[in-house]
Structure 1
Amino acid sequence: MNVQLFIPCFVDQLFPETAFNMVKVLEKLGCNVQYNTDQTCCGQPAFNAGYQDECRAVATKFVKDFRTYDYIVAPSGSCTGFVRNYYSELFDNSAVHNDVKLLKKNLYEFTEFLTEVLHVTDIGATLNGVGTYHDACGALRECKIKEGPRKLLAGVKGLELREMNDCEVCCGFGGTFAVKFEPISIGMGEQKVVNAVESGADFLISTDLSCLMHLDGYIRKHGNNIRIMHIADVLASGW
């Protein structure tokens, strides 16, 4: 099975090890993984800031870069959800309309691809400790991903999964929201970290590094004894 990687900007620049771990898992499961080095951003930051024309220019390149019949897999529910739910609006009645339909059909968030396409829940990973899962807004609300990540984590040897209070509540990042509304964003992040710590977890796990990056800033500043982990990093552990 051929798989094209879509690596979001912040993963490429700040958390490249997660991308490598995603490749490690996909190759273990027999996928032929390919990476188009011409790829850039999906356009979400510009769109969320109200710059639709600028977003459309970036998104047009994205559509061109991922004009393929292969599966496209990304370690981000946020970027995946944006392409799925807003590209049709950006390119309505345009020359690339059919390309957008194909792109939306082939694009999957990482855990979604594992559970719904490959039908795998046990990767053979091992991670000793207690984990709690944060439902990132992009994955939960834009992609309707809920049970898949939990099934994958349940298959990790040595990991006890505990639900924290308000696991579906936003962490407060929201891209530019964290800059424009900093006090609100920090307050939401604080509550998320408090809930995670109170669950007794050693690891705060999610599908989206944008959320985890935001929460890790609070954790580091306040010295909380909990570690963030993208689910790809969890699934690549111990083998």
Structure 2
Amino acid sequence: MRVGLFATCLVDLYRPNVGFSAVELLERAGFEVQVPAGQTCCGQPAYNSGDRDDARRIARQVIEQFEAFPYVVAPSGSCAGMLKLHYPRLFESDPQWQARAEAFAGRVYELTAFLVDVVGMGGVEARLDGSYTYHDSCSAQRELGVREQPRKLLASVQGLELREMEDTEVCCGFGGTFCVKYPDISQRMVSDKAAAVKASGADTLLAGDLGCLLNIAGRLKREGSAVRVYHVAEVLADRTDLPGIGDGEDT
């Protein structure tokens, strides 16, 4: 069975190891993984800025690139939410494209949700010594209902202990263009999130959205914190040999 991997812009540009980790996890589950070379941004920046025309143009291209795959998987709740929930809304005045968007959306999954809810994966073979706390991104949790799936898989990682932070579900302040439009508010939000991470006592921060991780990792490093930061896929695939996110060698 084939899976189309929607790699995401941030993974492509800042942390390719997340994409490689996603491929490895999907291949371990028995899937043939393909990454269409013509894929682009999911269109969320344009969509959130009110530029519906460009968002529709991007959505058409993405749908055409992935339409033939039985499953489309993204290592990002934010991008998966855009593909799954917002693409059909973009074409409400275009019945033909709305039908294509809805059919496409029905095959889209966030990575950990796909592995647990569709594949039925109960654990992985991986090891990371230490403790972790988990940040639930807004889109993954609120739009897609992703919360327990990553924790279920992480519970099987040898040497790893969960230490939940307070307000794990509270936004980190990234929000794509939100951090650009409202930098002062965003800075306060990520400062609060960094404080919650440190108060948990965990030595590692994990999440399923690279935008959140880059944002929080940047604040932690500026505050002199030694907390390691990884995408959940990197830990599950046992690919944590690279420096953590924000440590200067992300690519």
Give the TM-score category using the shorter length. over 0.9
Q: Secondary structure at the match of 1:130?
A: strand
Which residue does the alignment assign to 2:42? 42
Deviation (angstroms), 1:179: 1.0
Which residue does the alignment assign to 2:246? none
Aligned partners of 2:181 and 2:98: how far apart in 1? 33
Structure 1 vs Structure 2 CA RMSD: 1.3
Query: What is the TM-score of this pair, normalised by structure 2?
Result: 0.92
CA gap 1:171/1:86 in 2 versus in 1, 3 angstroms: same
Which residue does the alignment assign to 2:148? 147
Number of residue pairs the alignment of both structures matches: 239
- Alpha carbons 2:88, 2:105 under 8 Å: kept: no
Which residue does the alignment assign to 2:116? 115
Deviations 1:172-192 (A, max 9, x none): 001111111111111111111
Which residue does the alignment assign to 2:31? 31
Bigger shift: 177-186 or 96-105?
Answer: 96-105
Aligned partners of 2:9 and 2:107: how far apart in 1? 20
Query: What is the TM-score of this pair, normalised by structure 1?
Result: 0.97
Q: Secondary structure at the match of 2:124?
A: coil
Aligned partners of 2:32 and 2:82: how far apart in 1? 26
Which residue does the alignment assign to 2:248? none
Q: Secondary structure at the match of 1:197?
A: helix
CA gap 1:37/1:238 in 2 versus in 1, 3 angstroms: closer
Which residue does the alignment assign to 2:210? 209
Q: Secondary structure at the match of 2:123?
A: coil
Which residue does the alignment assign to 1:187? 188
Deviations 1:57-115 (A, max 9, x none): 11111111111242111000001111222111111242222221221111110000100
Which residue does the alignment assign to 2:87? 87
Q: Matched residues, percent identical? A: 45
Aligned partners of 1:3 and 1:84: how far apart in 2? 16
Q: What is the letter of the counterpart of residue 237 of structure 1?
A: D
Which residue does the alignment assign to 1:228? 229
Deviation (angstroms), 1:121: 2.3
Q: Secondary structure at the match of 2:214?
A: helix
Which blocks of at least 5 consecutive residues in structure 2 are unaligned? 241-251
Q: What is the letter of the counterpart of residue 124 of structure 2?
A: I
- Alpha carbons 1:127, 1:238 under 8 Å: kept: no
Q: Secondary structure at the match of 2:92?
A: coil
Aligned partners of 1:47 and 1:97: how far apart in 2? 16
Deviation (angstroms), 1:238: 6.9
Deviations 1:127-161 (A, max 9, x none): 11000010100100111111111111111111001
Q: What is the letter of the counterpart of residue 188 of structure 2?
A: G
Give the 4+ runs in structure 1 shifted more than 3 A. none
Q: What is the letter of the counterpart of residue 136 of structure 1?
A: S
Aligned partners of 2:40 and 2:216: how far apart in 1? 25
Aligned partners of 2:217 and 2:145: how far apart in 1? 25
Q: What is the letter of the counterpart of residue 147 of structure 1?
A: E
Aligned partners of 1:22 and 1:238: how far apart in 2? 10
Aligned partners of 1:198 and 1:108: how far apart in 2? 32
- Alpha carbons 1:82, 1:142 under 8 Å: kept: no
